[in-house]
Every structure is written in structure tokens, then in C-alpha cells.
Amino acid sequence: MPEYNTLDDLEPGQRVLVRVDLNSPVEDGVVQDNNRFDRYSETVAALAEADHKVVLMAHQGRPGRDDFVSLDQHAEILEEYVGKPIKFVDDIYGDDAIDAIEALEAGEILLLENTRMADDELPEKPAEEHAESDFVQTLAPLFDAFVNDAYSAAHRAHASTVGFAVELPTYAGLVMDKEYQYNTSVAEKEFDGQVTMLCGGNKSEDVISVVNNLEEKVDTFLVGGLPGELFLRAEGEPVGMDVGDMDLLDDQWEETKGTLEDLVENRRDEFELPVDFAYEDDDGERAEIALEDIEEKDTGYLDIGHETIEAYEPIIRESEAVFVKGAVGVFEDERFADGTVELIKAIGETDCFSVVGGGDTARTLSLYGLDEDDYDHVSIAGGAYLNALTGQELVVVDVLKKYA
């Protein structure tokens, strides 16, 4: 049983302040739908149905970046999923926000402006210090309870994620509770059979963190994406170097080569590495090459090849539990989605305990029509998912427990 309060403990008909995480990709100023809206609609609808006055807080992007925009579009997207009007006020804790909060009727929903537009939202500070801020001191007296559902921001100690727990009775929302229970399962659950982790993506330090922290828990790491190439480079293969427009690999190699060389020297039997790769040929088509035929690095590789997929698939099918961290190819481009889609599909077809995660990687399911119900859990979190997998603390969960 979790050591924090959940929505089951919340009496109906209250004034409830709710932190969600609607942070989404923004293209040319247009907010893109991702599965966060769908996921949060369940919590928001449940709270409205319980006759609460529901006030939502969320952030978008980071100050100074192109994705640092207002939440007005988020209100419209969320409204479609909740099936009820979502009011929006372009204020966080000024007079306009207070008026909008006080005008709310039971069962109505209001979204406040991007929390990172408030001066005292950032930087990271202990909950008790954030609780002293004007932000928390102004809003907290207007509410009876605080619900924290922003699991994917649970590694961030900001005023809106930790400060209100000090001032108000605090509850974990539906997303927070489910994500926490499943994502900590690789660190906390015992499995009798084979435990496999499919890892890739574009950050080798994430994969190194998983590999170093889960040595006792995971039997086999199936590696692809950028880390797959860099592990092979550590074995002396002519892959994993920047080519053409790509500029990710050499920097990561400089930062991680010592660790990667050490891992392939001392723990090689725990890894399966790609035996072939896919790349874009001169006609713009997907082409494949076996690792043994690569003489020098003159092509950027964008997916694992089919020989590798065939080698990884049986390992997945024999597993009792499979966890995913990062895509094994550039799945956003249909030509290079085979590795990620076929392996994640195999996980769904296998009767294993499965968690698919990584903020980007989880999008594979919606993009390629895979059914979420075929997996035990699909995480909408990135950094928080990684922390949970590797058994590291999540400051927001600690605060939920402390102030339960």
C-alpha cells in the first residue's frame, strides 16, 4: 500500500487545487497533443464528477525556449478529452486568477496560466521554502485540498509541485499513483524468470544509468539507438561517430567512453548489441547493412536492422518481465520505425509483465496503432520514469509521503 493519501481518501464537494503535467511538444507555436492530455482527463473528470471545484496548475516548456508558451491551447485540447468546458485564465495568483477561482461552481474546471511564468515557481528548493512564497501563500487559503498528479514532473522541487503540500491536505492523483506503483516495480518487484530491458534513445547516459543501477534486477539489456552504436564503438567497431548533419554521437562518446569500454569488457554477457543497421540510401529509401560489412563510418544509422530485430524478439518472448527505456531507432520517421515498433509489438503479444516508458518512446503506441491495454503500464514520464526505474528518489513522492 502506498504511504501517501490517494483520491479514495478525498471527501467530495471541496475546493481542490490540482497539479498536472501537460508539458507537450510545441511546433511553430502550436501545442501538439500527446498522451498526457488523454491520461489527465481521467483525473480531471473524476474530480469534477465528485462535485469538487477543480483548479488546475501546469507548466509548459522552460523560460527562454521556444516551447515556453501560454496554456490557452492546452485548455482547449484537454476540454476535448474531458468532455466538459475547461475555463482558462491568463494569470497564476494575481487578482484575475483569484476572481476566476472564487467564481467557480461545484463541478466546474479552471486552468491557470503556465506556472513557470510566476517569478517564484523556480528554482528547485525544499518544500518548506517554497511554501513561504507569495505564490503558495496567496493561493493555498483559497483551497481545501491539494492533489498532485504531475508524476512526470515528480523529480522537480518547484513551488507548484512541492510547496502546497506543506499548507494543504495533500493527495496523489490517479496518474501519480499508477505511474509510481508501476515504474518502481523493476526496482522493487521480484521476478522468477528472465527480466529484460529494451534500451535505446538518444542519451547514452540514461542507458548507462539503467545498466549500472539494475545489474541485480535485469538479466539482459537489448540495446539499440545511439547507445547501441556507442557500445559497439567501445568494442572497436567503426560505428557511433558523427556523420553529416548528425552531431550527437561524438560528444556523448567523449563523455561516456571510459564507462562504455569498462562495461563491454566486464559485463559483455549481459548485453545484446545490434548486428545490423538501417540507413537512408541515395534514393531516400530504407537500406540495411550488416555490422561485419561496415568498413568505415560514412553513414548515419537510424534504426537497428532486421537481423537484430530477429535476434532480440525471441529474448523478449521468453521473458517474464520486459521494461522499455528509449526507442531503438528514429521511430518518428516511418522508414526507421521497424525496430522500435516490431519489438514493442512483440512485448505486447507476450504474456509478460511489461512497462513501456520514456516520454518520447511511449508515443510509438499512439503513432503506430498499438493497443495500450496489451501492456501492464505505459508511462507518460521521461526523467521521472528514469529515476523510478533506477531506484532514485522522486522529491514529489517524498513530499507526498512526508505530508500524508
Ligand X SMILES: O=C(O)[C@H](O)COP(=O)(O)O
CA distance 57 to 40: 12
Site for ligand ATP in 286-305 (CB under 6 A): 301-302
Distances (CA, A) of 291 to 183, 229, 233, 288, 300: 34, 10, 11, 10, 13
State the nearest-atom distance from the C-beta of 274 to ligand ATP, in Å: 10
Size of site (CB under 6 A) for ligand X: 9
Rounded least distance, CB 225 to ligand ATP, Å: 3
Taking contact as CB under 6 A, which single stretch among the options 9-17, 155-163, 182-190, 319-327 is the one that binds ligand ATP? 319-327
Q: Which stretch binds ligand X (CB under 6 A): 1-9, 10-18, 150-158, 389-397?
A: 150-158
Contact residues for 30 (Cβ-Cβ < 8 A; gap 6+): 73
For residue 332, say whether it is annotated as part of any ligand binding site.
yes
Least distance (Å) between residue 23 CB and ligand X: 3
62 binds ligand X (CB under 6 A): yes
Query: Is residue 209 near ligand ATP by the rule CB under 6 A?
Result: no
Looking at the Cβ atoms of 36 and 53, the one nearer to ligand X is 36
Its sign, for the CA torsion 166, 172, 173, 177, is positive
The answer to whether the CB of 191 falls within 8 A of the CB of 321 is yes
By C-alpha distance, which of 320, 360, 330, 323 is closest to 344?
A: 323
- What does 62 bind: ligand X, ligand ATP, none (CB cut-off 5 to 8 Å by kind)? ligand X
Residue 267 neighbours by CB distance under 10 Å = 13
Is 224 within any annotated ligand binding site? no
User: Pairing between strand 303-304 and 145-148?
Assistant: unpaired
Grid coordinates of 316: 523478449
In this chain, which stretch among 39-47, 95-103, 148-156, 371-379 interacts with ligand X, using CB under 6 A? 148-156
Residue 201 binds ligand ATP (CB under 6 A): yes
The reply, when asked if residue 272 is annotated as ligand binding, is no
Beta sheet of 109-111, edge-to-edge order: 86-88, 109-111, 53-57, 15-19, 145-148, 170-172
CA triple 236-240-243, angle to 5 deg: 130
C-alpha cell at 33: 497533443
23 known ligand binder? yes
Query: 254: part of which helix (H) or strand (E)?
Result: helix 249-266
* Phi and psi at residue 254, to the nearest 5°: -60, -40
Site for ligand X in 376-395 (CB under 6 A): 382-383
Among residues 92, 226, 260, 384, the one that binds ligand ATP under rule CB under 6 A:
226
Residue 124 CB, shortest distance to ligand X, in Å, is: 10
**Residue-level length of the chain:** 404
| Least distance to ligand ATP, CB of residue 13, Å | 37
Question: Which residues make up the interface to ligand ATP (CB under 6 A)?
Answer: 200-203, 206, 225-226, 301-302, 325-327, 329-332, 358-361, 382
- Binding-site residue numbers for substrate are 21-23, 36, 59-62, 116, 156
- Binding-site residue numbers are 21-23, 36, 59-62, 116, 156, 332, 358-361
- Binding-site residue numbers for (2R)-3-phosphoglycerate are 36, 116, 156
Question: Which residues make up the interface to ligand X (CB under 6 A)?
Answer: 21, 23, 62, 152-153, 156, 359, 382-383
